[in-house]
Structure 1
Amino acid sequence: MSDRKMRLGAFLMAGGHHISSWRHPDAYAPAGTSIEHFIELARIAERGKFDMMFVEDAAAIRERNPDMASQAARSTMFEPLSLLAALAVNTSHIGLVATASTTYNEPYGLARTFASIDQLSGGRAGWNLVTSASELEAENFASSGLRPHSERYERAEEFADAALALWDSVEDGAYLAGGQFADPSKLHPVRHKGKHFTVDGILESPRSPQGRPIMVQAGASDVGKELAARTADVVFAASQTIGEAQAYYADVKQRLARHGRQPDDIKILPGISPIVAATESEARAKYQALQELIPDAVGVALLASYLSIGDLSAYPIDGPLPDIPQTQAMQSRQQLIVDLGKRENLSIRDLARNFAGARGHWQVFGTPTQIADAMEERFLAGAADGFNVMAPLFPSELEDYVTMVIPELQRRGLFRTEYEGRTLRENLGVGAPAKR
C-alpha cells in the first residue's frame, strides 16, 4: 500500500453550497453572519482531520437584481480575513485559507494581514489568490470597469512576487536575537519597482512558523495555470469527468519543472460536492429534496452569472444553451458549462439545476463506500492529490461526511488519523518554501 495520503479542504459557505440550501428545513437562517456557526463548521472539519478550511470572497453583492438576491441567500457573508482571525483562536490544527483579490488590494497591506493571521494561528494561514472576474466587483472599485483577463493576470503576477518578497524580507530569528531587538543582517528591504506596484520596505512581522503563508490558486486558463505552477502550493480545480481531471492534473504538474519545482511541490484539489447516507436511494432523495427548492429564475440567473452574459431569459428554458461569446470574466468556467451542456445534451433548465448544486464542481451521491470508491478512483488515477469538499448543506452534510466518509477513507489507509504537524505546510507535506 502506498504511503501517499489524500489532502482535504473543507470549503465553507454560510448555509451550504447548494443555491437553495437556505430554504431547507434544516437550514440555519443567520448562517452568513453567525460567528458561532462558522466556529462550529471549523471544529467539525478539524475533528475530521481536514488539512484546511477555505472561505471564498467576492467584494460585491452576488446578484444585481434585488429579486434574485432576495432568493439566493448569497448577500450576507463575513469579510473572510476578519473571519480567519476569529477562527484562528477557536481552532488548533486545521489550516485557515481565504480568498483575496490582486485586482482590488495592494501587496503590502495584504501581505501584512496574512502574516498577522499566520502568527495568530501558529503557522496555519493560506491565501487563495484571485484576479476577480465579476463586473459587480469592478463597479465597486474601478470606474473603468472590469479589466481585461490578460491585464488582471499581469497584475497578479507582479502582486504575487511582491507579496512573496515581503514575507521573505524577515529571516528566522531576526528579532530578539543576541541582546538586541532586531538583527539588521536578517532584515532585507524589498525594493520592488514594477509596472503596477512600488514596495520599498520590510514587513513588520517575524517570519511565519511555516516560513510563509501557503499560496493557493484556482485559475484554469493557460496563464492561470502557469502562475500556479510558479507560485502556488495548492490548486483548487473544477472537473466534471475523470478525463477532464486527469488532463488538468497532468498539465499543471508538467509545468512545474520549468520553474525548478517537483511534482509534489503542489497539491491539486478538485472540488467535490458529496451527499452521503446509509443507502444510495436515501442519498439521492436528500439531493432531490434540495433540487426541488430551486426556483427556475434563480437557477438560470446563477448560470448566466457564471457565463457572464447577463441574461438568459430571452431563450426557451427547455431549449439548448445558445452560443456563448467568450468574455473577459471566468473563461475556464464558461467552457466547463458549455462542454457539460453539449456532452449531456442538457436544456437551459437542466443545466441550471445541475449547476445550482455545486457551480460546476463534481457531485457525488451514495453510501460512504460509494463515495470513498469514487474519490479513491480519481486519487489513484492521476486526477487529484485530494479534494476540496463542498457540502451542499451546513452543518448537517459536513457532519455526515466527517462521521461516515472520513472513517472509510482512514480504513483504506487513504487519509490521516492524526495531524502530522502543527503548521498547514507540515500537514500538507509541501515542504519549506525556498528563500527568494
Structure 2
Amino acid sequence: MGEKRKMSLGAFLHPTGHHVAAWRHPDVNPNPLDFKEYVEMARIAESACFDTIFIADSVCTFDSPTAHQMARSNYFEPLTLLAALSSVTSHIGLIATATTSYNEPYHIARKFTSLDHLSGGRAGWNLVTTDAANEAMNFSRSSHFTHAERYVRAREFYQVVSGLWDSWDKDAFINDKKLGFTYDPDKLHELNYHGKYFQVKGPLNIARSPQGKPVVVQSGSSEYGKNLAAETAEVVFTAQRSFNLAQKFYRDVKERMAKFGRCQHSLKIMPGVFIVTGKTENTAKEKYNTFQELVKPEVGIALLGRMLGNFNLSSYDPNSALPQLPLSENGQKSRQKLLSEVGSSKNLSLAELGKYIAGGRGHYSLIGTPEKIVDELQRWFEGNAADGFNILVPHLPNGLKDITKYIVPELQRRKLFRTQYIGTTLREHLGLSINL
C-alpha cells in the first residue's frame, strides 16, 4: 500500500487579517507595511510545513464612503513582498495574485520566472481576471471589461505566458567560456504569438524556471472560471459554503479536465476556510465575538456591496432584507450567487448579512475546538470535496499562530498532513509534476 494521501495547506495572508475589523483589535499591528510582521508570519507558516503562502491583490483602493474605516487601502504589491520573503524562507511556496485584465503577459511571465529563480523553485501565479471595476480607471479605461470578455482575454493571456515560459530549454544557457557561447541557439524558442488581444514575439529574457514553469493557480467559480481552471490551472482557490456544494464543485471541475486531455491528479482544489479556534468551544466563540463586536454596520454593508459585484447599498434600510440586485456584469458572479443564497436561506437583514461575512467573506467558516474543526476538514478531504484548504484567519499573526498550535498538530496526529518537508519546490509540496 502507498503512503496515505496528505492534504495541502495554504496560509492566506491578508493585511492585518481577514476579518474586516481585525485592524481595530488590540493585539493587531494596524500598520500593514511592517515587513517584520510578514517575516514572522512566513516563518510561522513554514515551521508548520504549510505548502504555501497566498497573497491576494487589487490595483485600486476600496471605493466606498466607509473606506477610511477599513484596512483595505494600504498594502504591499505581492510580487515585491514575496521576493523579499524568499530570502528569509527556504521551503514554503510563494503564491501571488496578478490580474490578466491590467497586466501584460510578458511582464507576468518574466516576474514570476524571476521569483521562481530567487526562491529556488517556490513561485506560483494566482491567475485572476479581477472583479474590482474601479481598477479600470487606473489603466486608461472608462469601464471594466465584461465578465465574459475578461475570461476570453485571460485564456489568451495564459497561452502567451505559458508560451513565453517555454522560451528556453532547461540546459540552454551553457556559459562556455572557451567557445565564447553564453547559450545554445538551438535551445532558444521564439513565441511569435498573434491573437485577438496580444501580439508577442518573445523570447523571455530570463532562463527557464527552476520548476519548469511556476505553478498556476486560478480563483473563480463561475462557468467561465471552471472551464479556465479545468484547462489551465494546477490549483483552484474557491469559496464553497457547504460540504455538498463543495463536493459538487470538486466533481464538476475535475470531470471537465478530460476534454482538455488532463489527468484529474494534476489539479488540486483548495477551498478557502475561515478558522477561529482555541482550547475550548467557549474560548473560540469568545475570540470570534470579539471581532464581531468591532464591526460597524455601515462597514459590513459596504463590504457586502463590494463582494456582491460593486454595488452601493448605503441607501437601503440596514434592517431590510437584501434587495433583488441585477446580475453583476463585471463582478464575481459566483460570489454574488453564494452571498445572495446565504442571505435568503438564513433570512438575514443587510446589516446582519454584512456582519455575517465580515470574517470569511463568503468562505466556509469554522469556529470551535481543534478536534471539531479537524473533523470537518477531514470530512471534506476524504469525501472528495477538497484536496486541501487555503486557510483564512481573523487576525495576524496570532490567528495564524492558533492554526499552527492547535489545528496542524491535530492534522498531523491523524496523519492527514506532513510533519516535515520532503522536497524544496512548491510543485513537490503539492505533488504536482515538474514542468521541464
**TM-score normalised by the shorter chain: which range applies?**
over 0.9
How far 1:71 moved relative to its partner?
Answer: 0.9
Taking the aligned partners of 1:159 and 1:371, their CA distance within structure 2 comes to 39
* Residue identity in the other structure for 2:22: S
1:34 aligns with 2:34: yes
Which of 415, 418, 421 matches 2:417?
415
* Residue identity in the other structure for 2:340: V
1:334 aligns with 2:336: yes
- SS of 1:82 mapped into structure 2: helix
1:161 aligns with 2:159: yes
TM-score, scaled relative to structure 2 = 0.97
1:100 aligns with 2:98: yes
Match of 2:114 in 1: 116
Taking the aligned partners of 1:425 and 1:224, their CA distance within structure 2 comes to 22
How far 1:308 moved relative to its partner?
Answer: 2.4
- SS of 1:358 mapped into structure 2: coil
* Residue identity in the other structure for 2:316: Y
CA separation of 1:291 and 1:155: change in aligned 2, threshold 3 A:
same
How far 1:371 moved relative to its partner?
Answer: 1.1
Judge conservation of contact 1:284–1:366 (CA < 8 Å) in 2. Answer: yes
* Residue identity in the other structure for 1:42: A
* Residue identity in the other structure for 1:244: L
Q: How does 1:196-235 map to 2 (within 5 A)?
A: 196-235=197-236
Taking the aligned partners of 1:142 and 1:310, their CA distance within structure 2 comes to 22
- SS of 2:275 mapped into structure 1: strand
Matched length: 431
How far 1:27 moved relative to its partner?
Answer: 0.7
* Residue identity in the other structure for 2:79: L
How far 1:309 moved relative to its partner?
Answer: 5.0
Q: How does 1:5-20 map to 2 (within 5 A)?
A: 5-20=6-21
How far 1:315 moved relative to its partner?
Answer: 2.4
Taking the aligned partners of 1:149 and 1:70, their CA distance within structure 2 comes to 29
* Residue identity in the other structure for 1:117: L
- SS of 2:174 mapped into structure 1: strand
How far 1:205 moved relative to its partner?
Answer: 1.3
Taking the aligned partners of 1:209 and 1:290, their CA distance within structure 2 comes to 42
Unaligned regions of 5+ residues in structure 2, if any?
A: none
CA separation of 1:309 and 1:428: change in aligned 2, threshold 3 A:
closer
* Residue identity in the other structure for 2:97: T
Displaced runs of 4 or more, over 3 A: none
Match of 2:308 in 1: 307
How far 1:142 moved relative to its partner?
Answer: 3.4
Judge conservation of contact 2:218–2:237 (CA < 8 Å) in 1. Answer: yes
Taking the aligned partners of 1:266 and 1:337, their CA distance within structure 2 comes to 26
* Residue identity in the other structure for 1:386: G
Taking the aligned partners of 1:349 and 1:70, their CA distance within structure 2 comes to 19
Taking the aligned partners of 2:324 and 2:234, their CA distance within structure 1 comes to 36
* Residue identity in the other structure for 1:414: L
> Which range moved further: 278-287 or 322-331?
322-331
1:83 aligns with 2:81: yes
Match of 2:404 in 1: 402
Judge conservation of contact 1:240–1:361 (CA < 8 Å) in 2. Answer: yes
Q: How does 1:274-423 map to 2 (within 5 A)?
A: 274-328=275-329, 329-423=331-425
* Residue identity in the other structure for 1:312: L
Partner deviation per Cα, 1:299-330 (whole Å, 9 max, x = no partner): 00100111125322332222211111102211
Taking the aligned partners of 1:409 and 1:309, their CA distance within structure 2 comes to 38
- SS of 1:9 mapped into structure 2: strand
TM-score, scaled relative to structure 1 = 0.97
CA separation of 1:309 and 1:168: change in aligned 2, threshold 3 A:
closer
* Residue identity in the other structure for 1:231: T
Taking the aligned partners of 1:357 and 1:92, their CA distance within structure 2 comes to 31
User: Sequence identity, in percent?
Assistant: 48
Partner deviation per Cα, 1:26-59 (whole Å, 9 max, x = no partner): 01121x1111111111111101100000110000
